[in-house]
Amino acid sequence: MTVRILRKAAVCLGVGLLALFVLGPLLWLFPHAFAGTWRYPGLLPQEWTLRWWRAVADNPDLVAAVRWSFVFAPVATLLSAVVCLPAAYAFSRFDFPGRRFFLVALFSVNAFPKIGLYVAMASLFYTLNLMTTFWGVVIVQLLGTVVFMTWLPAAAFSSVPRSLEEAARDAGAGPLTVFWRVTLPIARPGILVAVILSFLAAFDEAQGTLLVGAPVYLTMPTAMFSMVTNYPEGVAAVFSLLLSVPSVVLLFGVRRHIMGGHLAEGFQLR
């Protein structure tokens, strides 16, 4: 009985620490975003205000950064899906020379400091006239999505039982019908997780976007660099909350699939 109580207490403590680790920064930012007057040793502000929110809404540069963040991330995610999902299906269903090499090579984008890769890309982008262009920023953000959009869907396609597809073909279904009616519905949770993580990766990308897009295209993460030094603390807190909202909403939206093991299974592709 005592062991069971201690075990439950340990689980509750672990969950509490995890929740504090995940939500702690947001709980810290929230009062700063609404604090008018906050003097020591008060635990909460003595005066609440919307002044910092109005400062963000009235600043055209910050509004443009919010708008560009919600433009670039969906475009980069969509292009990543168009390019990587067919590749993921090929990695899953076909055994071709160099398959394992290409799978491992996809990690190389994330295995080394990205700033070196971005500097090399910048020299290429100067040659191709892609610096400070819309599509230059999209390409930079797309690079961070490749691993998620390839490995997770490839594992999802591999999890579809071949016997179901063969049964559908024996019943007279064509290859395209088998894919849409059998393969895709079963692989959908893994693909959904890949899309969400790819969107978040593109949405939070800062170094490459700043290098390639500045000063024409500034997104929310790149604007945070100047926000910390050039704006009051309350404005930075508001912008940080706005930057965190999509991540929190999307992760809660797909928590069932993540907790269901699709994320872990996605990186166990052989």
Instruction: Please provide the DSSP assignment of 143-157 as one string.
Output: HTTHHHHHHHHHHHH
* Nearest-angstrom CA–CA distance, 91 and 187: 14
Measured torsion, CA atoms of residues 226, 227, 228, 230, in degrees rounded to the nearest 10: 70
Going through the chain in order, the beta strands assigned E by DSSP cover 35-37, 47-48
Question: H/E element holding 179?
Answer: none
Instruction: Please identify every stretch of the chain with a pLDDT value under 50, giving residue numbers as ranges.
Output: none
Q: Is the pTM of this model over 0.75?
A: yes
For the chain, the average pLDDT equals 84
State which fold the 63-259 domain adopts.
Answer: MetI-like fold (1.10.3720)
Other beta carbons within 10 Å of 1: 5
pLDDT digits (tens, 9 = 90+) for 146-171: 888 998 898 888 888 888 888 888 88
As a whole number of angstroms, the longest Cα–Cα distance in the chain is 75
